[in-house]
A = this chain, B = another copy of it.
Amino acid sequence: MNELSAAFSPTDYRYAVPELRDFCTEAAFVKYKARVEAAVARAFAKRGILREELCDEIVEAASKVTAEEVRAEEQKTRHDIRALVNAIRNRVSDEAKPFVHLSATSYDIVDTANALRYKNAVQKVILPEMLALERVWIELARREKETLQIGRTHGQHAEPLTFGFAISQYVSRWGSRILRLREASENLVGKFSGAVGAYNATSLLFDGDPDAPEEFEREVLSLLGVKPAAVSTQIVPPEPLCDFVHAVVSSFSVLANFCDDIRHLQRTEIAEVRERVAEGQVGSSTMPHKRNPAGLEGVKSLWKRFMPQVVTTHLDQISEHQRDLTNSASQRYTQELLVVFAYCVRRLTGISKRLEVDRARMLANFQISAGDIVAEPLYILLSYYGHPDAHEFVRRKSLQAYEERKSLREVVERADEILPYLRNFTSEQRAKVFDAEKYVGRAAEKAEQVASYWEEVLKGL
């Protein structure tokens, strides 16, 4: 789309997700608002207030109205919903006209349309993308569940694990976020309670039937598949949207963490994983041999840009009295957050698929510290078999090893003072203490367990 190099937002030029155009653009917003107007007409028809053929006219008109027509009207009215109403009215008979938007306030339409389109965007595009990434990670966790890797804390070699186990953390965290985002999208609410939320207009219309206003609201929203707010002002209560944005952003952070991890594993000195590169791709404009983790860095960078939007959503929890409009422009940008998030999910799916594990290098890195890993298992078993101060013993031996430039294993294997305890070790314990590769705990099994669990859970989605 050439026009877009003239756009001010990089989202359109660089980070677009075309499938989201049906939900996350001004045109889509207009389409969804029109759909709500159509539902209002259908609910009137259902109650026998609006003749079926007039209802059909409105439903038809609502399905055809375009963003451009609305914009042209807005130039005149300077009010976006009145512009939409006029654009629909322009397409129906005089008899149908009065029933367009009848008894609605703008935000009956806007809030309901937003709830519906965000929910649809999540369920039709974003969740499938998230599931695709989850499946790639499940496969990776399972494939590498036995691949020995050194665990790292503080950037320092710590205890053994497997690469599949490391990935299983992401499988689990991401799986939980998928469920959370799905739930948050389903909890988005709409309303049809009028200008201040008290059903003033519909109470007037359905004069004499006190339950009718809330029934009518439920009817309109159920036609669309959106839950009604328990109570509302001019707008829906802000918390469901706030929870929704939280669900998106907290999911986004899981991606950011993955990016950092994989990026660091690609450091020249570590080099345990790499991305297969495309033919002809340029790594660096001046250093052609480099393979930069630019995709991972790009996702992290977009997170840096969009994560602080959580502040906006909390600011938008505040609206004076029955509402001020200071949440309007800001909430228009919610759609962009969804696009950028979906873009990042998709991008990471690609990168994760192309991820190559250098098992030899992983093992080589592991070997660097293999001789020192004895520290923890030794101290634990010494304690277990009654050594009164095993931690301090091992700490001193570590320093000695460091000074003598030996591995800790070399130093402790010859330490007479612990011989009495060593004799009590089972042979398997002895193996795990002195052979670091065996001291890998339940890494492989746990990786498999997590993979299977989420495979099962997500089957149901």
Instruction: Select which of B81, B151, B176 is within 8 A of A285 by beta carbon.
Output: B81
Q: Which of A122-130, A131-139, A237-245, A350-358 contacts B (4 or more CB under 8 A)?
A: A237-245
Q: State whether the Cβ of A62 lies closer than 8 Å to any Cβ in chain B.
A: no
- By a CB distance below 8 angstroms, the chain B residues around A21 are 6, 8
Q: Is the CB of A198 within 8 A of B442?
A: yes
- By a CB distance below 8 angstroms, the chain B residues around A246 are 243, 246, 250
Q: Is the CB of A239 within 8 A of B6?
A: no
Q: State whether the Cβ of A196 lies closer than 8 Å to any Cβ in chain B.
A: yes
Q: Is the CB of A442 within 8 A of B68?
A: no
**Prevailing SS type, chain A contact patch:** helix
Q: Is the CB of A158 within 8 A of B106?
A: no
Would A308 and B308 be within 8 Å (CB), given that A159-B194, A383-B99 are in contact? yes
Q: Is the CB of A26 within 8 A of B7?
A: yes
Q: Which of A112-120, A220-228, A292-300 contacts B (4 or more CB under 8 A)?
A: A292-300
Q: State whether the Cβ of A260 lies closer than 8 Å to any Cβ in chain B.
A: yes
Q: State whether the Cβ of A346 lies closer than 8 Å to any Cβ in chain B.
A: no
Tell me the chain A residues, 208-231 only, with Cβ under 8 Å from chain B.
208, 210, 213-214, 230-231
- Inter-chain CA distance A59–B136, complex, in Å, is 46
- The complex is assembled from copies of this chain, and their number is 4
Interface 0/1 of A302-329, CB less than 8 Å to B: 1011011111101111111111111111
Interface 0/1 of A75-119, CB less than 8 Å to B: 011110110010000000011011101111110000000000000
Q: Is the CB of B260 within 8 A of A320?
A: yes
Q: State whether the Cβ of A443 lies closer than 8 Å to any Cβ in chain B.
A: yes
- Inter-chain CA distance A197–B369, complex, in Å, is 18
- By a CB distance below 8 angstroms, the chain B residues around A267 are 152, 155-156, 264, 267, 269-270
- Inter-chain CA distance A300–B210, complex, in Å, is 38
- By a CB distance below 8 angstroms, the chain B residues around A39 are none
Would A389 and B97 be within 8 Å (CB), given that A199-B441, A214-B442, A237-B169 are in contact? yes
Q: State whether the Cβ of A273 lies closer than 8 Å to any Cβ in chain B.
A: no
For the complex of A and B, 3 pairs with smallest distance between CB atoms: A9-B9, A151-B196, A288-B395
Task: A10-B333, A78-B281, A102-B384 given; name 7 further pairs at CB < 8 Å.
Answer: A12-B12, A154-B263, A207-B428, A250-B317, A263-B324, A264-B267, A297-B324
